[in-house]
């Protein structure tokens, strides 16, 4: 089994997405773990679907 590129890591205040290949944080701070976003990033990585998921999670933050 290969190592996942993107993983959620708990940080103070919620979760952030860690890029194992780029060795840096990706995206925003999320209060809830963005499981659907992680599945898409590690799977098909369809840009339209990722954009829709990001909009959904940002709307939930407000």
pLDDT in tens, 28-61: 899 888 899 999 999 998 999 999 999 998 887 6
Can you name the residues that pair with 16 across neighbouring β-strands? 9
The predicted pLDDT at position 50 comes to: 93
Average pLDDT over residues 10-21: 93
Q: Reduced to 3 states, what is the DSSP secondary structure of residue 3?
A: coil
Taking alpha carbons only, the member of 2, 59, 47 closest to residue 34 is: 59
- Sorted by where each begins, the domain ranges of the chain are 6-61
Q: List, for residues 17-27, the tens digit of each pLDDT value.
A: 999 999 999 98
């Amino acid at each position: 089994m290969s190592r996942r590129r993107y993983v959620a890591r708990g940080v103070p205040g919620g979760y952030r997405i860690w890029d194992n290949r780029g060795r840096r944080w990706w995206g925003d701070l999320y209060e809830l773990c963005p499981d659907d976003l992680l599945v898409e990033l590690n799977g098909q990585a369809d840009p339209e679907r990722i954009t829709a998921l990001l909009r959904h999670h940002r709307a939930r933050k407000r």
